[in-house]
Structure 1
Amino acid sequence: MSDSQNISAKVAKLYDTYPFPPEPLLDEPPPGYNWRWNWLAAYNFCTGQKAPKQDIRILDAGCGSGVSTEYLVHLNPQAQVVGIDLSAGTLEVAKERCKRSGANRVEFHHLSLYDLEQLPGEFDFINSVGVLHHLPDPIRGIQTLAKKLAPGGLMHIFVYGELGRWEIQLMQKAIALLQGDKRGDYPDGVQVGRQIFSSLPQNNRLVKYEQQRWAMENKRDECFADMYVHPQEVDYNIETLFELIDASELEFLGFSNASFWQLDRLLDKAPELMERASHLRSRELYRLIELLDPEVSHYEFFLGRPPLVKADWTADNNLLAAIPERNPCIDGFPSKCIFNYDYQVINLSEAEVEFLQKCDGQATVGEILAGVDFEVDGVSKLLKQQVIMLTRS
């Protein structure tokens, strides 16, 4: 068995022992939404316009217990979804989860990400959350994914960040030292880790970090094991992250938590520093931000395969001719107080509510404005907030 196969076998054993994520199985669709798993919302975020088609193929690469797969099916009612995972035990949980919730447009394959060529065709949307950083060769992994992405397609990736996981790395190493030749016995690792936390002083840095950020979810052994006794983990910083991204030969479309990567939230009181930073390239700026705010425990971002046309609605005539629809990932409408795609509260005016009620995907912005007391600047605001998405007429 090669080193890569040996690592993969250890990873599969972990998830056979502790299927992950451990969310309960429901006899109904999952609650709410994650906009990153909604094709229309994600495409709008990446390109500024509604996707040209909805009857797409979606790959959930490393689907685990099917939490993401279930959402991908329910949030994309015209899509066909394929889920793959290395762990046979976890895959059985995914199948049962989707069966119980009525997510019936999905097929599962017990397959390593490295063996994706065994699946026919390409995919319009590839989701891979928490997978690449557990591979023995993440670059080979992302290149394998990229080969299966169709032209005009999107890829959503989630990988760990080293700066925000420093304390986690220390605990991982401590547990491994105390386990000795019992490494790979995951229940023993969980027991050792919990005993360490219960024995350390309450003012210990590792204890405080665990209690502040992870203690609630780590009550579940599945979560604790995934965090502290995983046999394979690669943590990234901005520099190594973009080495991974560049290896895919895909286009970087942006971080999904775009507001975090705005320097003015950190240095708005120092205009002279902001001026100095204005000369930095985008990757240098990202690096500066994470160095100044080293809480980044993960990176979540989109990649795309050209051609991907980015819409420009700055000219009023283009905006007036566009056809608006409400973003599928808003909650609470037609109330004046709604959640946006990212579950942030937005308070709408009566005029905004009236405009949004007429955004039915048929009339243009200009046609709607002719019948309501609302201005084109207000439409631009709703577009910036991603409350609406637009299609060229």
Structure 2
Amino acid sequence: MAEASSVFLCARWIMSKQHSSNEARLNGDVTERVRSQYEQLPYPHREPADERKRLCMTELDDLNIVNHYCFGGERDLSGGLRILVAGGGTGDSLVFLAEQLRDTPSELVYVDLSDAAMKIARERVRIRGLDSLVQWHRRSLLDIAEMDFEPFDFINCSGVLHHLENPADGLAALKSVLKPDGGMALMVYGEMGRTGVYQIQRLMRIAAANASSEQEKIDLTRTMLSNLPKTNWFVAGGGLNSLTADSSDAEIYDLFLHSQDRPFSVDELYGWVEEAGLHVAEFTMQNRMLYEPAFLLGDSNLVEELSSLPDRQRRAAGELISGSIAKHNFWVSARAESKVDGIRAEYVPCLSQLGQQYDVLTAIEQAKTPNVSIQVNLQNGSSVKLAIAMNDSLRAMAKLIDGSRSLLEIVVAIVGPGASREKIDRVWSELQIAIGTLRQIDFIVFRQKVDRRTQAA
């Protein structure tokens, strides 16, 4: 009995030391300041009751797109996923992911420092009736490696790593719980598009140095924003900067008064990811056009010269040309080759949530003109217009895309029995051109007909 008691006391001592270690990390200077901010001002501001009338869609978490870029289109999403939302805040990504995985055997794990933010996220999930899918942990993402989690298929960490004293530590912690064939959705701040923001941050460290409270700092910042001259870089940025003196306290504090904020250039981002032993799979549609010289320059010789560069250098050049990228939204993979390659007859075309938002298939079905024009909004507030040449094959395809039929099955359904080789080739060629445009903007993505993990089992 004495031996058992001794073991029990020893176990309690070890657990208390582990708890103390975790608390020390949680209460580190930078982490504690960040936690305190989000306790006072949960971000982004959300009213849980709004879940009854709308769903916030986050492009990074569109699972059909994730399947295309992170899993090679090889996942049958109805079989469920194990997902970590690290730094889940008030729950935008968590809610969107859980809603897509409703009625699947999925597990979602939420981790965040802030009780206040977690309370909002939990209520949003409860209102949607998704409680059974989610586990909740109030911890730093730096603790994740110590939390005995089973590995995850997919990890979302949006708007968090740039707030760490050492973002490499955070990325390493996430990688430690990622499956060997898993993927992540990350958002970190961009350097070029936030030039004016960082000038205001420096300004407010001077102007609000003697403020007696966080609210006084916010009020001073509002006053400053209302009085800046047109020559100020933040004001001159115009559409790059959506915040104004009328924005919420949480938005103003997060943008201008945050205690820890480290941006990345594209080149730095690639280096950071590669040093962690991961691979950049792709940037979101609303981001990646802004990295491409072909979308930014009018001189064909310049475009040809820059377009021949490897991805990292070409996109670094594009970022410098654009000068407007404030956030890098992208997916990384544990595998070097993780995205669907090309357009093949056996692929199953799937309409992404983004494509649904633009209602692209209805636009194609109902088109009365020779071309369907699609205006796509980009991250910096600009837009691009893409034209799709209309034909009967494309109209028929729009009615047949259901996430189950392969491109081959769609072509067979369009041409009908006994079709000539010439007709089959014509329809296939017409669909390839249209699908290529819709793929370019992630309205259509691909999955494989069979989940290869199930096949291997």
Q: Normalising by structure 1, report the TM-score.
A: 0.87
SS in 1 for 2:68: helix
Please state how far the C-alpha of 1:198 moved relative to its aligned partner.
2.5
In the alignment, structure 2 segments of 5+ residues that lack a partner are: 1-23, 366-372, 378-384, 416-425, 451-457
Decide whether the 8 Å contact of 2:267 with 2:316 is kept in 1.
Answer: yes
For 2:404 and 2:219, the matched residues in 1 are separated by 59
Whose radius of gyration is greater, 1 or 2? 2
- Alpha-carbon distance in 1 for matches of 2:34, 2:142: 14
Once the two structures are superposed, what CA deviation does each residue of 1:187-231 show, in whole Å capped at 9, x if it has no partner? 222112112222333554433436762235961111000000000
Residue 98 of structure 1 aligns with an amino acid whose one-letter code is V
CA distance in 2, matches of 1:345, 1:32: 25
Q: Which has the larger displacement, 342-351 or 304-313?
A: 342-351
Verify: 1:258 aligned to 2:300, yes or no: no
Q: Which residue of 2 aligns with 1:177?
A: 206
Q: CA deviation at 1:178?
A: 2.1
Q: Which amino acid aligns with 1:304?
A: S
Moved more, 2-11 or 132-141: 2-11
- 1:64 and 2:121 correspond: no
Taking only aligned residues, the RMSD between alpha carbons, in angstroms, comes to: 3.1
In structure 1, the partner of 2:431 is 379
Aligned ranges 1:29-48 → 2 under 5 Å: 30-31=54-55, 33-46=57-70
> 2:72, 2:338 within 8 Å by CA — same for their partners in 1?
no
Aligned counterpart, 1:368: 410
What is the aligned counterpart of 2:117 among 68, 86, 90? 90
CA contact (8 A) 1:326 1:388 kept: yes
Runs of 4+ with >6 A deviation:
1-4, 338-348
The TM-score normalised by the length of structure 2 is 0.76
2-side partners of 1:262 and 1:72: how far apart? 29
Q: Distance in 1 between matches of 2:434 and 2:183?
A: 24
Counterpart check, 1:267 vs 2:297: yes
- Partners of 2:111 and 2:137 within 8 A in 1: yes
Higher helix share: 2
- d(CA) in 1 for partners of 2:237, 2:94: 31
Q: Secondary structure at the match of 2:52?
A: coil
Q: Give, in whole Å, the separation in 2 of the partners of 1:212 and 1:262.
A: 18
How far apart are 1:81 and its partner, in Å? 1.3
Cα 1:143/1:370, change in 2 over 3 Å: same
State the match for 1:5 in structure 2. 28
Letter in 2 for 1:13: S
- The structural deviation recorded for 1:171 is 0.9
- 1:136-193 CA distances to partner (integer Å, 9 max, x unpaired)? 111000010111111221101100111111111111111111222548x422221121
Size of the aligned set, in residue pairs, is 387
Q: Encode CA deviations 1:116-140: one digit per residue, 9 max, x unaligned.
A: 0214201111111100000111100
| Residue of structure 2 in register with 1:391 after alignment | 448
Residues 38 and 76 of structure 1 are in contact (CA less than 8 Å); yes or no, is this contact kept in structure 2?
no
**Match runs of 1:175-214 below 5 Å:** 175-182=204-211, 185-202=213-230, 204-209=232-237, 213-214=241-242
Secondary structure of the residue that 2:362 maps to in structure 1?
coil
Query: Which amino acid in structure 1 is aligned with residue 68 of structure 2?
Result: N
Residue number in structure 2 paired with 1:125: 154
Q: 1:35-83: CA deviations, max 9, x gaps? A: 4212222221456635244411111110111122111111233232111
**Aligned partner of residue 33 in structure 1, secondary structure:** coil
Of the three residues 198, 215, 224, the one matched with 2:252 is: 224
CA apart distance, 1:259: 1.7
Identity, in percent, stands at: 22
CA distance in 2, matches of 1:360, 1:207: 46
- Offset of residue 330 of structure 1: 2.5
Query: CA separation in 1, counterparts of 2:427 and 2:407?
Result: 10
- Give the Cα separation in 2 of the matches to 1:325 and 1:3: 42
Over 3 Å counting, the alpha-carbon distance change for 1:194 and 1:3 in structure 2 is same
Q: Which runs of 5+ in 1 are unaligned?
A: none
CA distance in 2, matches of 1:229, 1:83: 26
Kept after mapping to 2: 8 A contact 1:321/1:392: yes
Match of 1:24 in 2: 47
